[in-house]
Amino acid sequence: MQREGLGLYLSREQDSISIRLIEGHTNEINAVIYIQLIDVFYQSKMPPEIQREPEHRLPLGMTVIDSDAGYDRYVVVGLPDKTCSEFPVPDTDKTVADFNDAYDEDTPVVQVVSKEALDESVDNWTRNSLADLQSEADDAGLKIYSYPSERLQSAFSHVPNRVETHRDLICYQYARLTHLASTIDHPDQFKGWLLWTKYNELTSGEITMSSVLKENQYQLKENLGYCTYCNRESETTFDHIVPRDSGGVNDISNMVPACKSCNSSKNNKNIIDWHQQHGFPIDRVVVGKYLKLKWNEFEEDDLLDEETPNSVRSRWEGLEIARRIDQALTMHPDR
């Protein structure tokens, strides 16, 4: 394409770019434009920035880890609609941003209390109205901390010590998915008791992962119009979640529509490793399919109750999960 006034001619053929300077323009201007275009081109070769709302929104009642303080555990009790530069710290003349030069002034503020103190001071708080959690903590005389949201991480993105076997790990991650589906109507509230209830029901066999997930029904179209990995509008083709070279099956249970950029970048990598490498949340649909595939694999090899190696536990550490608002999870009793 030729853009009038830019002084250059740009053409792009798959993995190459060609720029021809047009006579009559200064070299300095063209040099700047050339560099900018090269930068834009190579950025387009990387996985696009994630565009969905991840699990790490830190809703009310969620147990979080303060990565700046030795991974102490806190509970979210307040979500003021203010950024670090706007939120005043009580009993001071400073804002949250004033306390640390490393804080991004535009980052939303999250208010938390010590989980240990909350457990000791407020009876059965997990079953109470989460909207009243901050006032209950205040009435109990608990210290409320105001932190940038980026300083805190969901404790549930870390693999708990009680998760020991392959069965435990798959059920725990699947319980996270059920929690996401159940909080669609109240995304600002977190119910940890529900997550553990589903985990216990899954590990005991009271409920099972649905054999036909809903996502298989609405992803039968190869060119879906948006990429399952990055959520951007794009032409898509099917990508195998578990690569064929790694034994992945060639049917819809192992396939999701993906854009060319993500498909090429992922290639034959493990889907969990790939998301961790690029630091963005993994789509709930992808996790649901991956867990079902791994369950079938371990069940067939009689490995479900074998201890999970540290290398596999590490793979899941800190993994964030995202979902589209129209996604729901089908669970059914094992009758």
Which pLDDT does position 51 carry in this prediction?
42
CA 33 from centre of chain? 35
pLDDT at 157 over 50: yes
Nearest to 240 by CA among 220, 254, 228: 254
The model's confidence at residue 68, banded by pLDDT at 50, 70 and 90, is confident
Cα–Cα dist 278/301, whole Å: 31
Q: Which tokens belong to 218? A: 């609405």
Which pLDDT does position 325 carry in this prediction?
42
Q: Could you tell me where the beta strands, DSSP code E, fall in the chain?
A: 8-13, 16-21, 63-66, 72-78, 109-114, 145-148, 152-154, 207-209, 237-240, 255-258, 282-283, 321-322, 331-333
Helix axes 166-182, 284-300, angle to 10 degrees: 150
Asked if residue 316 lies in contact with residue 291, where contact means CB atoms within 8 angstroms, the answer is no
Nearest to 188 by CA among 105, 81, 116, 285: 81
What is the rounded end-to-end Cα distance, in angstroms, of the chain?
62
Give Dmax over CA atoms of the chain in angstroms. 78
pTM here is 0.64
Contacts of 280 (CB under 8 A, 6+ apart): 47, 49, 50, 230, 320
Cα–Cα dist 8/34, whole Å: 8
pLDDT at 280 over 60: yes
Which pLDDT does position 230 carry in this prediction?
84
Average pLDDT over residues 101-109: 89
